[in-house]
Structure 1
Amino acid sequence: MKVDWRPLRAELMLWRTQGLELPFWWRDDDAVAPTEALEQLAALSAAVAMPVHLAIVPKHATEALAKGLSPQFVPVVHGWSHVSHSSDGGKNAEFGAGREAAAVADLKAAYRRMATLFGARLAPMFVPPWNRMDDALFAHLAPTGFDAVSTYNARTSPKAAPGVAQINTHLDPIFWRGSRGLVDPEVLVSQIVTLLKERRSGITDTQEPLGYLTHHLVHDADIWEFSRQFLQEMGAGPVRLYRHDEKGIS
């Protein structure tokens, strides 16, 4: 795959010349068990020397996943069962409005299950399925044991609730509403350059780690290859890798 990375390289050069550093992280969703796709994700992580925050579905997570998880993976909590409770044709959401008591029970069950599986390895970040969560539920995260929540798009505040950081993802290479293959690489490069320009100019929060979101279980060859090239490009830039269990690594 030939991708024209020159616009991104030019933008990253501006970051260097202005003495700026970009916090950057990688999140991958929907893991439940060891698979060939997960092995491929681990190999990519090693090749580009970047940790992956692996969002694991607690109800379906296996002990085999916990026992065999490679050190470059940072386990985080991906909902409870990844089942939508929306009705009347609403957008998919497991932690949407209208079921606060049940949702809080699910939060607690999710944390307990993941703590049992991963112990001290668990990074206490909550990732709601479909990147949607009712605002009323944010206040229940810290009492449950979570110290961060991650959805999608630029955050409007560093804190989602007292004691809970908001650390979102911002670029997804999958064309979910179409072929479910790779978004046009030219469009993706344009999107990332726009994200970087907005940060450099102070339009969006410069302190929030810029997040790349993948879903290893549904990747085709083009998505894998674009991700490899993109992560190499970012790794060569003025970036500081963020890892939630260490609160930032370089």
Structure 2
Amino acid sequence: MTDWSPLEAELERLQAPLPVWWRDDDAIADTPALDQLIEMAEGAGWPLHLAIIPAEANETLARRLRGCGSVVPVTHGWAHANNAPEGEKKAEFGAHRPVAEMAAEAGASRARLANVLGTEPAPMFVPPWNRIAPDLLPMLPEQRFSTISTFTPRKDAEAAPGLRRINTHLDPIDWRGSRSLVAPDRLIAQMACDLRDRREGRADAAEPYGLLTHHLVHDEAIWHFVADLLTRLSRAPLTLWDARAPHITEPTP
């Protein structure tokens, strides 16, 4: 049986509502997994930041998202293609291409996504594999992005002038092993440690704490953990961050 007490103890120590948000990566089409994801987000009352691969996004996704106010579309690179040399960590927008070329591609990605969806995505850029060349960051505001999102606690609130950083922090998938659920005790311990670091000043407590999921590869263990986590968090004082708005709000009861 999963022991949630380490996380619950940290949630009880909160001195202010915990800012949270949710990002799910790699959407391209309407699928049963996407339906399950959206239903889960709507049930929890959380905005769902759906990181969509522009080159692969199709009309079925656009139809599914029309009128779906709980989903916040954001730009997930261009084609989720690895441009890193062999032997280096995967990256589409890493330091392997001319920065001006990558900036133009990021802008084209946002424009293509807007064309497919029939509406502007939120002004967030999510680089595939959570890796991006530092020299590209100052050029993203010129491409109408105001937020960059990767993984792990941020060091600075601004990645570049006019570009805020809102990262994700908890990923339940064991990517290097089973590709199923990371041991729940490890995930609970990690989040409890993250909250303790924020409470004790070792991490930025103003950064919304981000849940990162990948609906297309979820198995039942992952779905169950995410649902259980959302239920546990619903009992704590929260505020919900939304890339479409300049502020955070309380979740709908």
User: Counterpart of 2:38 in structure 1: which amino acid?
Assistant: A
Q: Paired residue for 2:165?
A: 166
How far apart in 2 are the matches of 1:110 and 1:202?
A: 37
User: Counterpart of 2:249 in structure 1: which amino acid?
Assistant: I
What SS does the aligned partner of 2:16 have? coil
Long gaps (5+) in structure 2: none
Q: How does 1:149-160 map to 2 (within 5 A)?
A: 149-160=148-159
Q: Paired residue for 1:48?
A: 44
Structure 1 residue ranges (4+ consecutive) displaced by more than 4 angstroms after TM superposition? none
Q: Is the 8 A contact 1:123 1:244 kept in 2?
A: yes
How far apart in 2 are the matches of 1:212 and 1:141?
A: 24
How far apart in 2 are the matches of 1:234 and 1:120?
A: 31
Per-residue deviation, 1:115: 2.2
Q: Paired residue for 2:60?
A: 64
Q: Paired residue for 2:126?
A: 127
- Which string of whole-angstrom CA distances, capped at 9 and with x for unpartnered residues, describes residues 163-190 of structure 1? 1110000000000000000000000000
What SS does the aligned partner of 1:59 have? coil
How far apart in 1 are the matches of 2:245 and 2:118?
A: 15
Q: 1:119 to 1:146 in 2, by over 3 A?
A: farther
Q: Is the 8 A contact 2:62 2:118 kept in 1?
A: no
Q: How many percent of aligned residue pairs carry the same amino acid? A: 46
Structure number with the higher helix fraction is 1
How far apart in 1 are the matches of 2:110 and 2:243?
A: 16
Report the TM-score when normalising by structure 2: 0.94
How far apart in 1 are the matches of 2:83 and 2:144?
A: 23
What SS does the aligned partner of 2:242 have? coil
Q: Paired residue for 1:87?
A: 85
Per-residue deviation, 1:217: 0.1
Long gaps (5+) in structure 1: none
Per-residue deviation, 1:221: 0.1
Q: 1:237 to 1:121 in 2, by over 3 A?
A: farther
Q: Paired residue for 1:10?
A: 9
2:94 matched to 1:96? yes
What SS does the aligned partner of 2:140 have? helix
RMSD over aligned Cα atoms: 1.2
Q: How does 1:227-246 map to 2 (within 5 A)?
A: 227-246=226-245
User: Counterpart of 2:64 in structure 1: which amino acid?
Assistant: G
- How many residues of Structure 1 are paired with residues of Structure 2 in the alignment? 246
Q: Paired residue for 2:71?
A: 73
User: Counterpart of 1:86 in structure 2: which amino acid?
Assistant: A
Report the TM-score when normalising by structure 1: 0.95
How far apart in 2 are the matches of 1:103 and 1:235?
A: 40
How far apart in 1 are the matches of 2:181 and 2:170?
A: 12
